A and B are shown apart, each in its own frame.
Chain A
Amino acid sequence: MEAVLAVTIGILFAAAIYMLLRRSIVKLVIGLILLSNAANLLIFVTAGLERGAPPLVPRGMAAPAWAVADPLPQALVLTAIVISFGVLSFAVVLVRRAWELVRTDDLDHLQDTDR
């Protein structure tokens, strides 16, 4: 299954890069979303997959009695998901603001600082 997900993540990255290379600023934002999701999955999958063994400690025990999924990458990815949402919301509002000011969606038109 890891191999299948590796291919899927490759597709996600390819889609993200393609969108980041567009001139339209809205497509750039979509590329950003794709990129952060792909990166999160990459970390999650590379750490190894476990089925049906969430990192939980049963009541009354000091530690899980059986092998559980590694909690550390999960914690890191959780942080990353939230942070990427922060970045995304900021970027979206920024794009909207830029649109209101310069009325263009084309990154090439944003090069002149004088406008």
Chain B
Amino acid sequence: MQLAVLAGFVVAGLTPWLHRVAGARTPLLLALLPAAIVGWLLQHWSLLAGGGALMLEQAWVPALDITLTFRLDGLAWLFACLIAAIGVLVLVYTGGYLRGHPDLPRFLAVLMAFMMSMLGLVLADNLVALFVFWELTSLTSYLLIGFRHTDPLARQAALQGLLVTAGGGLALLVGFVLLAEAGGSWSLAELASRGEAIRGHVLYLPLLVAILIGAFTKSAQFPFHFWLPNAMVAPTPVSAYLHSATMVKAGIYLLARLHPALSGTSAWTLGLALIGGVTLLLGAVMALRQTNLKLMLAYSTVMALGTMTLLLGIGTRAALAACLVFLLAHAFYKGALFLVAGILDVMTGTLDVTAMGGLRRLLPWTALTAAVAALSLAGLPPMLGFVAKEALFGALLEAGGTGWVAVVAVTLAAGLTLSVAAIVAIRPFLGPLRDPPRRPRGTPPALLVGPALLAALSLLTGVAPGLFDELVTVTLAGLGASGEALHLVPWHGVGGPLALSLAGLVLGVAVFLRWESVRARLVDVLAPLVARGPEVWHSTLGWRTLQLAHWQTRILQNGHLRTYLVTILMAWLGLVGHALLVRHGSLSWPGSAWQAHELVVAALMAAGALTACMVRSRLAAVAALGSMGFSIALTFVLFSAPDLAITQLLVETLTVVLLALVLFRLPHFTVLSTPLQRWRDLGVAALVGALITTLMLAVLGGERLPSVSHYMVANGQPLGHGHNLVNVILVDFRALDTLGEVFVLALAAVGVYAMLCFRAEEAGHG
């Protein structure tokens, strides 16, 4: 299985070459891979049906306990099947949708990479591996939203989506680290069995909040929902696949996966139910405000995601079962409807429902597909959507208590969703024929096969939902809600759920009939709210962050060497000075007594340095530097370092010659700074000098560690065959250092020579 996923990434990378060879057949060829994965999954179902799980372990970073372990259990199987199967249909659809598009290979490559990341996400058992795949899906989503990169809107939406989901990803990483700390393991399977310990841990609340932020950003929950509708600028296969059927469900997957480990506390129930409830109402209301087909569907996806979050928050066995059925139903009908929207876009050149009408005569099969899928979206029998809605209402009614708030909210949302479904299915296809920007002519089969199959699945599984009995039961057992086998039936009979469905139906039909005026009212009422909504917070935050970055760059990175130096020196002064004060309360006045001539040498040195700073004449400065250098050489002589003295003398002579040769071609010293600046610099310089002196006194007065050079002193003659120990060290004991030094000098010489020659050449040409 790891092999399949990793091979998928390789295939993604090879797609451009494949496209060069296979041309327009590439999407079909690529679809073979997910098709094979579906086959493999179906073949291995029997292993899982008994309640087992398939572990495929592969060490990755063993030192950090990170493994690339894939674990196939009910939940992973369900998601993997959805990803791979819808992936096949979307690839086939893409072949028709982007036929002849010059960037088709790039699109397919990223789509394949996404598919594999998503598979890795649902199969990974290790938290770190899951996180890596999670971020990969964010990245590929960014690339796919921004596919039409010449459009500034697409770039903006892509960036917004990336910032929101990747920002949530960071929170998720924090949550994962805390979770591993609290649960004592990086393995999801092990964490699932340690729920008690995790919920009782002191870190439980922070880790829950961090993980919920990660999941909510990915699954477009309030207040992070705004990126999803904006992401609709992506090509329709992406909207159908990433932003409806799979990627946005990653958050739902994660919450379901961590359900055994984290659920059951009031924080979990309240957080999920509240956010889910707000999101589902918001999605349903905002959907009616739109006229763009894809935006309506996007908001209804937000509504569906909110519903699933709410159900996970309630967390009873019935609620979990309803969540799974709803997930399946939504993947089928929403995938189909998005693909239908894409067909309308390609065929008519518009997505505005108010500009379409009567298309059933021109696009009969598309109309039929849309009608079937919309029935499921509306939650009407005999579709899977109906089964899901009945289960949903059943779970809500069973939960009791304050669940009635949720019941009201969901009934409202169900009614509004029904009207959305009616608008999507009826407005473009029924009524008198309106003239769209482009006149459609028969749908190509490549476009139609995907949505038609998905719509057919909605119908088939709606009539026979028992097909999912085993899957749902096994998955529930994996989520820690085992019990007797579940039986899904197409018709529940008359009862509470049906009554709520009917209430929703009445509301939905009423809203649909008066949609135009309802929409106008909604636009008016919501406009001020949207103008102050989370999307504005997000853009303001981004804008402010940029401002802050500009500001701090201006202050800290202003390009003046002296500002950098002063910053570094002041930091150094503060840190070292503080450490010195803390460690050494008092300073001694260490060292041997001085002799008069030594004092003279030291005074000459200091005088030379100070003179070099103060004189206006360059010649005087060079002379002062020279006198300082020679005083240093004298110091070396006085204190037993003849080799240093010789070297210093040579180098000093050369330096004076070099300065004399070059410096006098340079301008005279000029005064460029103000007196205030000079005093400030003098202050910094004096502080640094004082600290250096203090440090030296502290070091000299402190305890001496034994020198490391005893070996060199004892063995210089016997092993190095030299009488001058310094020379022996340089050419023998530390010969490699000297070799490095020779290289540095050679490089400097080459540099000097090159710069001098360059000038000559230029002069020759000039």
Contacts and interface: CB of A to CB of B under 8 A. Distances in A.
Q: Do A and B bind each other?
A: yes
Interface of A: 1-24, 26-30, 33-34, 37-38, 40-42, 44-59, 61-64, 68-72, 74-75, 77-79, 81-83, 85-90, 92-97, 99-100, 105-108, 111
Interface in B214-231: none
B726 A55 contact: yes
Given A3-B589, A72-B709, A50 B640 contact: yes
Interface residues on B, range: 35 or more
Contacts of B560: 107-108, 111
A37 B592 CA distance: 23
A1 B697 CA distance: 11
A54 B748 contact: no
A44 B644 contact: yes
B755 interface: yes
Top-9 shortest CB links A-B: A2-B591, A14-B689, A10-B693, A86-B748, A69-B640, A18-B685, A71-B725, A72-B709, A10-B689
Nearest to B746: A86
Contacts of A21: 562, 565-566, 681, 684-685
B435 interface: no
A4 B602 contact: yes
A26 to B, nearest CB: 5
B644 A8 contact: no
B692 A106 contact: no
A2 B689 contact: no
Given A26-B669, A68-B725, A6 B700 contact: yes
A78 B663 contact: no
Contacts of B734: 75
Contacts of B443: none
A81 B648 contact: yes
Contacts of B666: 26, 95-96, 99, 105
B576 interface: no
A83 B745 contact: yes
Contact of B693 (A9, A81, A85): A9
B613 interface: yes
A10 B692 contact: yes
Contact of B723 (A17, A47, A57, A83): A57
B651 A85 contact: yes
B729 A75 contact: yes
A72 B609 contact: no
A23 to B, nearest CB: 4
A95 B605 CA distance: 26
Nearest to B689: A14
A71 to B, nearest CB: 4
Given A74-B641, A108-B672, 4 more contacts: A30-B621, A78-B643, A86-B749, A107-B561
A85 to B, nearest CB: 5
B759 interface: yes
Contacts of A95: 662, 666
Given A1-B593, A63-B713, A96-B666, A89 B748 contact: yes
Interface string B548-571: 000000000001111001100100
Interface-centre pick from A47, A90, A94 (highest chain B CB count, 10 A) = A90
